[in-house]
Every structure is written in structure tokens, then in C-alpha cells.
Structure 1
Amino acid sequence: MEYKDYYQTLGVERGASADEIKKAYRKLVRKYHPDVSKLSDADAKTKDINEAYDVLGDAEKRAAYDQLGRGHRAGEQFRPPPDWGEQFDFGGGGADDIFADLFAHMGRGRHARHGGHQMRGEDIHAAVRIDLRDAYHGGSRTVSLRMPHRDGHGRVTMREKTLDVSIPKGVTPGQQLRLAGQGHAGAGGGQAGDLYLEIAFNADPRYRVEGAHVYENVPVTPWEAALGASVSVPTPSGSVEVTVPPGSQSGRKLRLKGRGIPAAHPGDLYLILDVVLPPANNDRARELYQAMAREMAFNPRTA
């Protein structure tokens, strides 16, 4: 049999606390989940991560694993001592059977029957991408997850599960939506785990989001910036009329209070002015620029 270093798999020290192990597991699952990761070996990595957490996330299994694996390195071939299984009560089975359960099977998120008791299924963590507009108005998404399934013969396959998810108005990046009972199935009639979907926004060149605040670049002409103007600006919540103050420069921020994401504490919408010069691509345009150069005598490097 081949020894697997589960601490190494999760990237934690052997003395890590239960909270540290759980935090490392959740971080890695989000990173390598096949629905999120583009890596070709995402399935295999997710399997290894689940396997490691199935053991290290259970205090009794972890103690048995530490006792058995002391002094061994990942990849080494070895057999447990004949009397090893007598040290731990796992509800029947010899040492080799226990060892195979701890080291050779995919992590089952504690679905397995343990001593005949009901056990709650493991939670699942995944990511869902939405448009910024969905955060303003709410919406829905169809989410497909690839989940491990164990048949009656102990074989594990990946199955696709499709869910229709309602996106509530006011969600922000990093917020998690909890779908009760949509995680891994429980064992022995135990309750199913939950599905946690972490919100991420699709990239949009028009907007930048920080928490509930939204930043939007607004192009304006030189005369609108210099003389002031009222301009119509499309925003995620609809078009608004905005007053550009006279003498505005590129980079000036106009704050629209409460016009950001309508979260529990609504954010603000910041409009960042971007002065855009018309091209000098014909004779008349060049004449106008030449007249400005003669009559205004403006030098921004000495102003």
C-alpha cells in the first residue's frame, strides 16, 4: 500500500487545529473544483483534497492516521502492523480494511455509516458568476455541479447536478448563498449537507466593484469638461442625468450616494470623468486645433 501525506495535500502543518484544516480544505475546494478550475487535473486534485479532509476532518480518523503514519513519507510502500486495528474501534473490520478506508478511497465528506449512526452529509462549496446588473435587480442562474457519487458496489463516479438558483437583489462579491440540503447526501438516513455558492462578478470593462461601491468611467468632451454640461450616463440601475461641473479634469469623481449595489448598507456609485479629445482627422478639425493653439496660449506643463 502507498502512504499518502494528507497534511501535505491540504498544505497544513501536522499540528494544525481543526479550524485551520477546515479553512485550508474550503480554500482548496474553491480553487480546484471542476466547475471553477481550468486545470486538466482538477478532478483528480478535488478527489485528493476530499480524501484528505475525510480523514483529517474527523478527530478519530485523524488520530488513527497519525498513529499509523508516524515516520512515513508520501509515496512509501508499507503495511500496517497486524495488531494495529485493535487500538481503535471503527465498528468492525480488520486493520487492512480500516487502512484501505483511510488511505485508498476518495473522501466521502462523512457520508459513510459509522457504527450504525446517522451522519450528516458534507457541505459543498462552489462559485457562481453573475452580471453586475443581477446584483442591482436580482435574477436567476442555472448552476451545474460535478459531484462524486458512490454506487452500491463502492465505485465512485462524477455526476452532473443542475440547480436553478435565485440571485437575491443586493448581493456583493464574496458573499455566500446557502442552499440547504443540496450538499452531499447523509448516511443512515442522516440529513444532507448544504451547498454554499460564493458570488463572483463577470468582468465588465465599464465597471469596477469594491464591496457595495461601484466605479464607472464616463467619457466627456473637452467643452463639456471646460464649460460644464448635463450628460446622460447609463448605469447598472438605468440612465441618470449628471451635471459635469465647469473646469472638470480627467479623473474627477462624481459621487452618487446610494446608487451602488443595493445591499443591506447600499454602496455609492462613483462616476470618473474621462476627457476624450476629438480626432484631428480632417482639414476643419486641424484648423480648429490650430486656432486654439494660437489664441489660448495654454501650456499644461507650466500651468
Structure 2
Amino acid sequence: MEYKDYYKIMGVDRKATPEEIKRAYRKLARKYHPDVSKEKDAEAKFKELGEAYEVLKDPKKRAAYDRIGQNWQEGQTFTPPPEWQREFDFGTGFAGGGRTTGFSDFFEALFGGGFSPHQEGVFYRGFQAQGEDQHVRILIDLEDAYHGASRTVALDTPEIDAQGRIVSNRKTLNIKIPRGIQAGQRIRLTGQGMPGMQGGKNGDLYLEVEFNKHRYFQAKGKDISIELPVTPWEAALGGNVPVPTLGGKVEVKIPRGSQAGTQLRLKGRGLPGVTPGDQLVTLKIVTPPAPDEAAAALYKRMAELMPMNPRQNMGID
């Protein structure tokens, strides 16, 4: 009989993790399933894939297969070592006697006896398979994250039609945006992912949230930042000025003698949560223009009364 390289059939490395093997199987099973596939020899490849997965998903069978297959390559004439099964316990039904259904002579020689094609993970025509999860990025406004909102989104999703063909179908979903959600977090819609096969459950749809660019707010985690323009006299003399927040206008006290880049923290004015975020306010001093002689004279008078060299520590005097 010919040796079968199950890793090659699955398209995975010999050091692949169980999760990597599972993902590879699901992808290929959908590709070669006889009810939907247009691939040449799809049914034969599908059965071969099911056989490979039956071995590699089981730690004991995989260990046994790895031991005897170290020096063999796909297609080589193979004979298992005499009475090699005595070294392994495959559970009820795998000690010989009887025949497995639909598997190769190679599998029979190694694991023959008592296997049921209805066991979990081995799929024949008519099998049930859960659909794949889908991941989609959506853009929302910061105000929606602050207040919470309900929105309608349109998504193109693949479906299997009555003729077994995979077609694109646009569906409209009403989603609820949780109050306080942050960029990078996900909204899970159960059962709205890829359709299952033969009555299997649909996968889930995960909506990864990103924020639309805001006119003056920026978000980092649950904190909100804003650059606040102030006049030179507001910075020099201090005082209360209005500041926009996601929750509405508030008054903030500018410390006397503030400089450009001075940062103020408004506690609890960021995105809501068990511990709400803060709003960080960075001052930006805006200098008025001098459009006429009177304004220019005022600036000259300020220079005389308040002489200063802001570059004195830069070594360019």
C-alpha cells in the first residue's frame, strides 16, 4: 500500500498546533465539499481530507502516525511494523477487527476497526459544519461611542444557494453600539457570520470599531484629547474659558502664566465606563494679527514693557 502524508494533504507543517490543523481542515472542507465544490475530484479529495483530519486531530493517533512516518514520503510503498498497535491505546474499536467506512487501506492498516463516519470532525456528504466567523471593520462617530447608539449597516456576505453555489448576498443589519466602546474593540453578532452547511450553525460576525476623524477631538483608549486655542492674555492672566466635551460645554480654569503646550486634565470627561476616561486639554496660544498701525504700536509697546528672549537657552544669542 502507499504511504499517505496527512500533513501534506492538510497543507500544514508537522509542528502545526491543533488550532492550526482545525483551521486548515475547515478551510479545505469548505473548498472540496461535494455539495458545493466545482473542483476536479472534489469528493475524493474531501474523503482524503477527512481521513487526514481524523488522524491529526487526535493526539494519540497523531503520535502513533508521527512515530512510524518519520522516514516515509507520500506515495512510497509502506508496510506497518508487525504488531505496532500494541504500543498505543486508541480507545474502544481501534485494536483491530471490523472495517472503517470510506477510509484508505493505509488508514485501515494503522487504525482499522470500529470507526464510525459519524464521529465528530469527519465529514461526508450530508455532514453538518458550523460556518466560519467573519470579521469586519466599521467606522462610527465618537459621539456614538460616548452616548451609545443604534445604527444600520449593509454587508456583503457569501451564502450557498439552492444549486449549491456560493453567491454574494447583501444584508442589512441593525446594530447597537454600546456606550463607552473604544477603538479596536469588537461588537459580536451571534449567528450573523458565514452560513453553516447541512443545518450546521452559522458563524458569528465580529464588527471591529474604528472612529471617524473628528473635527477637534482625538481618542486614545478611553481618554479624549483636544487642542484648545487661547489668546495671549488668557494664557498670561488666567481665567475661565469654555471648552467643548463629548458631553457638552464646560468651563475650565486657565492657570495664570500658562504657556503653549500646557495640559489640563478634565477628570471623567472621556469615554464612559466603570472608570470613565478623562479629557486632556492642550493649550495653543493664538497670536492676534496686527492689521494696522495702531495694533502694531501696541505690540511695540508690549515689547518695551515686557522685554524677553524666548531663545536665550538655545545658544543663538
TM-score (ref. length: structure 1): 0.65
The question of 1:234 aligning with 2:244 is answered yes
1:14/1:175 Cα in 2 relative to 1: closer, same or farther (>3 Å)? farther
Give, in whole Å, the separation in 2 of the partners of 1:18 and 1:247: 63
CA-based RMSD of the aligned residues comes to 3.6
**Partner amino acid for 1:17?**
T
Following TM superposition, by how much is the alpha carbon of 1:189 offset from its aligned partner in structure 2, in angstroms?
2.1
Following TM superposition, by how much is the alpha carbon of 1:294 offset from its aligned partner in structure 2, in angstroms?
1.8
Question: Counterpart of 1:163?
Answer: 173
The question of 1:248 aligning with 2:227 is answered no
Q: Secondary structure of the equivalent of 1:135?
A: helix
Structure 1, unmatched stretches of 5+, are 26-49, 68-79, 82-89, 95-111
1:271/1:116 Cα in 2 relative to 1: closer, same or farther (>3 Å)? same
Following TM superposition, by how much is the alpha carbon of 1:271 offset from its aligned partner in structure 2, in angstroms?
0.6
The question of 1:296 aligning with 2:306 is answered yes
1:145/1:205 Cα in 2 relative to 1: closer, same or farther (>3 Å)? same
Question: Counterpart of 1:17?
Answer: 17
Give, in whole Å, the separation in 2 of the partners of 1:219 and 1:248: 12
Give, in whole Å, the separation in 1 of the partners of 2:229 and 2:180: 27
Following TM superposition, by how much is the alpha carbon of 1:195 offset from its aligned partner in structure 2, in angstroms?
0.9
Q: Could you report, residue by residue, the CA deviation over 1:136-173 in whole angstroms, capped at 9, with x for unpaired residues? A: 10112221111112223232222211111111111011
Note if contact 1:113-1:187 (Cα within 8 Å) is conserved in structure 2. no
- Structure of larger gyration radius: 2
Note if contact 1:233-1:242 (Cα within 8 Å) is conserved in structure 2. yes
Note if contact 1:149-1:157 (Cα within 8 Å) is conserved in structure 2. yes
Question: Counterpart of 2:148?
Answer: 138
Note if contact 1:214-1:270 (Cα within 8 Å) is conserved in structure 2. yes
Q: Which runs of 4+ in 1 moved over 3 A?
A: 5-8, 12-16, 18-23, 50-55, 60-65, 90-94, 112-117
Aligned-residue identity in percent: 46
Structure 2, unmatched stretches of 5+, are 1-7, 32-45, 56-73, 76-99, 105-121
- 1:102-121 correspondence runs (5 A): 114=124, 116-121=126-131
1:115/1:7 Cα in 2 relative to 1: closer, same or farther (>3 Å)? closer
Q: Secondary structure of the equivalent of 2:268?
A: coil
Give, in whole Å, the separation in 2 of the partners of 1:189 and 1:210: 43
TM-score (ref. length: structure 2): 0.63
